[in-house]
Amino acid sequence: MRVELLTIGDELLLGDTVNGNAAWMGRRLADHGIEVTRSVVVGDELDVIISAVDEALGRADAVITTGGLGPTYDDLTRDALAKAAGVALIRDPVLEKRLRARVAAANRPLAPMALRMAEVPEGAGLLGNSAGSAPGLRVELPGGVAYALPGVPFEMRTIMNEIVIPELVERAGRPQVARRTLRTAGAWESVIATRLAEVEALDGVRLAYLPSPGEVKIRITASGPDAARRLDGAEALARDLLGTMVYGTEDESLATVVHRLLIERSRTVAAAESLTGGLIGTDLTAAPGASETYVGGVIAYATEMKNRLLGVPEELLRAHGAVHPDVAAAMAAGVRDRLGASYGIGVTGVAGPEPQDGHPVGTVYISVAGPGSEPRVISPLLIVPGAGAEVREVVRRLTVVHALELLRRDILGLDAEHGAREAEEDREERG
Amino acid sequence: MRVELLTIGDELLLGDTVNGNAAWMGRRLADHGIEVTRSVVVGDELDVIISAVDEALGRADAVITTGGLGPTYDDLTRDALAKAAGVALIRDPVLEKRLRARVAAANRPLAPMALRMAEVPEGAGLLGNSAGSAPGLRVELPGGVAYALPGVPFEMRTIMNEIVIPELVERAGRPQVARRTLRTAGAWESVIATRLAEVEALDGVRLAYLPSPGEVKIRITASGPDAARRLDGAEALARDLLGTMVYGTEDESLATVVHRLLIERSRTVAAAESLTGGLIGTDLTAAPGASETYVGGVIAYATEMKNRLLGVPEELLRAHGAVHPDVAAAMAAGVRDRLGASYGIGVTGVAGPEPQDGHPVGTVYISVAGPGSEPRVISPLLIVPGAGAEVREVVRRLTVVHALELLRRDILGLDAEHGAREAEEDREERG
């Protein structure tokens, strides 16, 4: 079953928005064993949309469009699909009634233009959209089926999950592909790939490495009639070879995993930040239920704040400045004790673009102080290609990942040195 | 001058990465008056890449590919362009020498596969890539010119800025399009669009509205031989009609503008956060030089921390819970005084997905305490469609935007009520 995506909208060609919808759709379809063979973006032009739909169905079995279902003059998807199917656009009385009722309930006048959202290519199926104004459409065309979805992400995902994916899975028959993603932090792609050579060699199994700052996701893809069984075998072998490098699977973030480990042990955490500016707190509070594990934090951005808010000794700051392993340790213990948490995180370093106190950009010290324990400190030297504000962003993100990974290893009673060893290999790798 | 983008890589179809490169390229080309007419993503398949290049040049004057220039077996762009041009792939001795030297300097063995990066379609131009390993390519084909760039964002942007865009601008002649973007916060799209009706009516001028949580960007596009002059006139009229709603232009974020306003006045800010978890601090520390204006912050996530870290009176918390305008005000004044900043920001509210203390999701109180002033509090009721973790994310982001906008208005001595008035209209709009 081959599917193409067609995203419609000038704003995408102009780079006003990044095509997050297409990425989400590609991922969800792949999860269900359906291959996206091409993804195209066109602007709001009727003839271009029509020919893009026709071309797609010349190559694939189905095309899924997003965008162009709103009420304004540049919303052309309904028109395009009607023309492609050689049918008329007709006003659907049920849709019109619902639209009028919705607008009346909001106490607003009905702009005549809005009634375009009650028009439907004759014979098209309506894909119920309780979340928004315009329904999705299913239009059968000579070359295959076209699904038209709203561009609003939440509405698109609802219709994909509830209607389109189940239909496509039904049409496709039994999936011949099974996938799983393992997530690692603090280890380098080359180290992981070297360890996984045995898995790469397995029949019917492919590995893809997806690095992001401080993390590497490993996607295992197994194919063939016994794909599920092969996948289980490959995953077991990969986990055996990688050991504690693996922190989670699929989409569970490092922060989510840390949250779960803390809840299981009835522990809490507080974070003292500086260069990270609040990123650690943001990550630890992103998910619902965070209040059970994250009690709060301090962003001691100015050097003096490290003493004022966390009790880092003035002599230490005077002697060494803010960028020093003992400062990180004092921050971790300070925030743990002052906020009454089980664990404290402390980070200090140089995000750039300028060096600080003679320390090069990428010098960071990361500390975790556990319950009744002395803080542990790591210092991964973060060498980041690029310039200016980009480097700053990556150094900050890397610091967050290393901090959360150190906390995870602390909770699990694991060696913190893994991070330091990786830093050594990192220096070697980058020559 | 019509240009198409061709992004090559399985990982993009599988949704492992979002196509940030294409968005960036579309934006940069548009800035220079060059229209991207289509953007296509294909996988790592030789025949598909070749036909996609040919199709693109059947429609447009130039195609810019990214990806597929690495050393591994799935890097097929060099092969595809050589075949499309009907020429051989030849080993370039200068490239080979440079590659061998680079690998030797990093003290690594040379994997034979890496020498593929020294291969070049015969007759192709090399687009110098000092940042990475493989050069970009320029290949003249029957239908037009193909540029092949690395997929690594920093490398791609360097070659685009230094070589490809100047060449395309040269080929295109004088741009017939001029653009400018105005940025507003705290006002609704419909309010802005209503005010700008006069600008919409101008000849040769088009407006596009680009909303994001709490903000609306207005892109003004003027076309024709006198595009620049029309643009200036349209911008002046728009600014006159929008007044203080406009906080900046192009890519300058609200946080950047606040930073600039504080520096100009030698003022500082500290932020007391809760539901935002560190997002305000993250924004205020994103840009270099932040330490001149942002002294630090406190994330008083647990209710008790609001008293312990910020001095919010216990009786107040006991009587009303954490979600109350007086709590926000006490947080703002508390963080201002305890961290010794000119301005304090305080926020408290319910991000969801569950209501809290009887307050519905989206109830937020945002306060700014200025130098020697009583805190001002606003309470924009944030109604967000969707469910679960998404709502949480949007409520947090909206809170940050409203907080920074309130601070901006405070610094400029503007009415804070603009926000409250918008909340009224918001309630009306959403029925």
User: What distance, in Å, lies between the first and last C-alpha atoms of chain B?
Assistant: 46
Nearest-by-Cβ selection for A15 from B16, B24, B286 = B24
Interface probe with B: pick from A2, A4, A14, most Cβ of B within 10 Å: A14
CA distance B216 to A111: 22
Percentage above 90 pLDDT, chain B = 69
Instruction: Identify the closest residue of chain A to B293 by CA–CA distance.
Output: A302
If you average pLDDT over every residue of chain A, what do you get?
Answer: 90
ipTM above 0.90, yes or no: no
B366, amino acid identity: I
Domain locations along chain B:
2-172, 177-249, 255-429
Q: How far is CA A363 from CA A185, A387, A423, B219, in A?
A: 19, 16, 12, 40
In Å, how far is B346's CA from the nearest CA of chain A? 14
CA distance A93 to chain B (A): 23
Please tell me the number of Cα atoms within 13 Å of B376 on its side-chain side: 23
**Which chain A residues are Cβ-neighbours of B277 within 8 angstroms?**
278, 281-282, 284-286, 290, 294
Nearest Cα to Cα of residue B295 among B303, B308, B285: B285
CB atoms closer than 10 angstroms to residue B324:
22
Residue to test with chain A: of B285, B361, B393, most A Cβ within 10 A: B285
Contact B30 A14 (CB under 8 A): yes
pLDDT (tens digit per residue) in B287-332: 889 999 999 999 999 999 999 999 999 999 999 999 999 999 999 9
Closest CA to B391 of A250, A160, A286: A286
Instruction: Read off the DSSP letter of residue B291.
Output: G
Say if residue B414's pLDDT is above 70: yes
- Tell me the nearest-neighbour CA distance from A97 into chain B, angstroms: 17
CA distance B421 to chain A (A): 18
Token pair for residue B140? Answer: 């003249």
Query: A41–B42: do the CB atoms touch at under 8 Å?
Result: no
CB nearest A278 (choices: B108, B299, B392) = B299
| Dihedral, A27, A28, A34, A35 alpha carbons, nearest 10 | -20
Distance CA A361, CA A385 (A): 11
Residues of B in contact with A278 (CB under 8 A): 273, 277-282, 285, 297, 299
Q: Which of B151, B113, B128 is nearest to B20 (CA)?
A: B151
Compute the nearest-CA separation of A341 from chain B (Å).
11
DSSP string over B199-246: HHTSTTEEEEEEEETTEEEEEEEEESTTHHHHHHHHHHHHHHHHGGGE
C-alpha B270/C-alpha B339 separation (Å) is: 7
Q: Report the residue from B276, B301, B428 with minimal CB separation from A296.
A: B301
Residues A129, A102 contacting (CB under 8 angstroms):
no
Shortest Cα–Cα distance, B43 to chain A (Å):
7
pLDDT, one tens digit per residue, over B221-251 is: 998 888 889 999 999 999 999 999 999 999 8
Q: Which residues of chain B lie closer than 8 angstroms to A386, CB-CB?
A: 154
Q: Rounded CA gap, A77 and B291, in Å?
A: 49
Residues B280, B281, B286, B287: is their CA dihedral positive or negative?
positive
- Whether B291 and A302 lie within 8 Å, measured CB to CB: yes
Q: Could you report the per-residue pLDDT of A274-332, keeping only the tens digit for each? A: 999 999 999 999 988 999 999 999 999 999 999 999 999 999 999 999 999 999 999 99
CA distance B202 to B241: 14
Determine whether domain B2-172 maps to CATH 3.40.718.10.
Answer: no
Residues of A in Cβ contact (< 8 Å) with B297? 278, 298-299, 301
Q: What is the pTM of this model?
A: 0.84
Task: Inform me whether the pLDDT recorded for B423 exceeds 60.
Answer: no
Asked if A288's CB is within 8 angstroms of B352's CB, the reply is yes
Identify the CA nearest to A336 among candidates A286, A407, A402.
A407
Residue type, B231: L
Which one is the CATH code of A177-249: 3.40.50.300, 3.30.70.2860, 3.40.50.150, 3.90.650.10? 3.30.70.2860
* Cβ within 8 Å, pair A20-B23: no
Count A/B contacts: CB-CB distance under 8 Å.
257
Q: What is the pLDDT of residues A353-366, one digit of tens each?
A: 889 989 999 999 99
H-helix or E-strand containing B393?
helix B388-411
What is the nearest CA distance from A416 to chain B, expressed in angstroms? Answer: 26
**pLDDT of B259:** 97
Peptide bond into B225 cis (omega under 30): no
3-state secondary structure of B286: coil
Residue of A nearest to B217 (CA): A16
Give pLDDT, residue B420: 44
Residue of B6, B11, B13, B16 to mutate when probing chain A, most A C-beta within 10 A:
B13
Where residue B174 falls among pLDDT bands split at 50, 70, 90?
confident
Helix (H, G, I), strand (E, B) or coil at B125: strand
SS3 of chain A: the string is CEEEEEEECHHHHCCCCCCHHHHHHHHHHHHCCCEEEEEEEECCCHHHHHHHHHHHHHHCCEEEEECCCCCCCCCCHHHHHHHHHCCCEEECHHHHHHHHHHHHHCCCCCCHHHHHHHEEECCCEEECCCCCCCCEEEEEECCEEEEEECCCHHHHHHHHHHHHHHHHHHHHCCCCEEEEEEEEECCCHHHHHHHCHHHHCCCCEEEEEEEECCEEEEEEEEECCCHHHHHHHHHHHHHHHHHHHEEEECCCCHHHHHHHHHHHCCCCEEEEECCCCCHHHHHHCCCCCHHHCEEEEEECCCHHHHHHHHCCCHHHHHHHCCCCHHHHHHHHHHHHHHHCCCEEEEEEECCCCCCECCECCCCEEEEEECCCCCCEEECCCCCCCCCHHHHHHHHHHHHHHHHHHHHHHHHCCCCCHHHHHHHHHHHHHCC
Q: Which of A3, A5, A11, A13 to mutate to test the interface with B (most CBs of B within 10 A)?
A: A13
pLDDT per residue rounded down to tens, chain A (431 residues) = 899 999 999 989 999 889 999 999 999 998 888 989 999 999 999 999 999 999 999 999 999 999 999 888 788 999 999 999 999 999 999 889 888 887 787 777 777 778 888 999 999 999 976 656 678 999 999 999 999 999 988 889 989 999 999 999 998 887 678 889 999 998 878 788 888 999 989 999 988 888 888 899 999 999 888 888 999 999 999 999 999 999 999 989 999 999 999 999 999 999 999 999 999 999 999 988 999 999 999 999 999 999 999 999 999 999 999 999 999 999 999 999 999 999 999 999 999 888 998 999 999 999 999 999 999 999 987 877 677 777 899 899 999 999 999 999 999 999 875 544 444 444 444 43
A402 neighbors A418 (Cβ within 8 angstroms): no
Of these ranges, A342-351, B95-104, B206-215, the one predicted with the greatest mean pLDDT is A342-351
Instruction: Judge: B389–A210 Cβ closer than 8 Å, yes or no.
Output: no
Q: Shortest CB distance from A40 goes to which of B38, B273, B301?
A: B38
A116 vs A78: CA distance, rounded Å: 9
Is the Cβ pair B298, A295 closer than 8 Å? Answer: no
Cis peptide before B353 (omega within 30 of 0): yes
Smallest CA–CA distance from A218 into chain B, residue: B16
* Residue B266 amino acid letter: S
More confident residue, B108 or A202: A202
CATH number for the domain running over B255-429: 3.90.950.20
pLDDT confidence bin for B129, thresholds 50/70/90: low
* Residues of chain B found within 8 Å of residue A334, distances taken between Cβ atoms: none
